[in-house]
Structure 1
Amino acid sequence: MTAAQTRKLVQTYYAAFNKQDVDGMLSCLATSFVHEVSQGERRKGKPLFKEFLTHMNKSYKETLSNIVVMTDTTGAHAAAEFDLKGKYLATDPGLPKAKGQTYKLRVGAFFEIKNGKITRVSTHYNLKDWTKQVLGK
């Protein structure tokens, strides 16, 4: 893939995210996809990621803006940084009680691409900041 094709793939992935379009997001992924988050468990495979996305869509309403996508010259790697605005809809186990709280975070992500599909995304955000916001501190 070219750098421009990789940029378009990542943009398509995030456009699907903003629509809460699980199938649209999954269509951007390789079968052997790996999802890594800075404050969570590593998920291997599209079925586990689909389960995660379905849960997230029930617990949170999130949209991304100011998305900046950067790629290496080969198109094999990309990074993105964006603003996330969300609303906490349903209590997640081990987290504060959901009461419709809103929050804003700056998020970064790193991608690996192979054969036109995302093989890995590693997402990083500040959980302490999120917790403070939903607790109203």
Structure 2
Amino acid sequence: MTTKEIITAYYDAFNRGDTDAMCALLASDVAHHVNEGSVRHGIDAFREFSAHMTACYKETLTDIVIFVEGDRAAAEFTVNGAYLADDDGLPPANGQTYKLPGGAFFALKDGKITRVTTYYNLSDWIAQVAG
């Protein structure tokens, strides 16, 4: 698969809620840099984070545009979500919906994603769910 095909497959799996398919695209030592959080290393940490996110949020990404330069990629997208369960340090959840722009950066090696760095505007998200 090309870099663009790998990133496209990653987001297709995300939108299906298929963590196993996402993990199949990751290097075993993947570095996952989450917005406003610490770096998680390895597929097990990625899977744990994904399980937490699935419990608290239901998200679909639209308007995805992928940019590729060699073994690096970037994506811009719209996050369409619902806040399902309280997440530590954030406002209470009661199914609030939100829509905000987001982006991610990727590094790849030998056909696997070695780094995922995700960004969105947390203040915008809080304003939308706090009502």
Instruction: Please state whether the residue corresponding to 2:65 is helix, strand or coil.
Output: strand
Within the alignment, does 1:126 sit opposite 2:118 as a pair? no
How far apart are the structure 2 equivalents of 1:94 and 1:33? 26
How far apart are the structure 2 equivalents of 1:25 and 1:94? 27
Task: Find the partner of 2:130 among 108, 132, 135.
Answer: 135
Aligned partner of 2:21 in structure 1 is 24
CA-CA distance at 1:37 after TM superposition: 2.0
Structure 1 residue identity aligned to 2:91: P
How far apart are the structure 2 equivalents of 1:29 and 1:66? 23
Structure 1 residue identity aligned to 2:72: H
TM-score by length of 1: 0.93
Aligned partner of 2:97 in structure 1 is 102
Structure 2 residue identity aligned to 1:49: F
Structure 2 residue identity aligned to 1:26: C
Within the alignment, does 1:43 sit opposite 2:35 as a pair? no
CA RMSD of aligned residues (A): 0.9
How far apart are the structure 2 equivalents of 1:116 and 1:96? 39
Within the alignment, does 1:116 sit opposite 2:111 as a pair? yes
Per-residue CA shift, 1:4-25, capped at 9, x if unaligned?
Answer: x000000000000001101011
Matched residue pairs, number? 131
Aligned partner of 2:54 in structure 1 is 57
Structure 1 residue identity aligned to 2:112: K
Unpaired stretches in structure 2, ≥5 consecutive residues? none
Aligned partner of 2:5 in structure 1 is 8
Structure 1 residue identity aligned to 2:68: T
Unpaired stretches in structure 1, ≥5 consecutive residues? none
CA-CA distance at 1:38 after TM superposition: 3.0
How far apart are the structure 1 equivalents of 2:22 and 2:34? 17
How far apart are the structure 2 equivalents of 1:103 and 1:37? 18
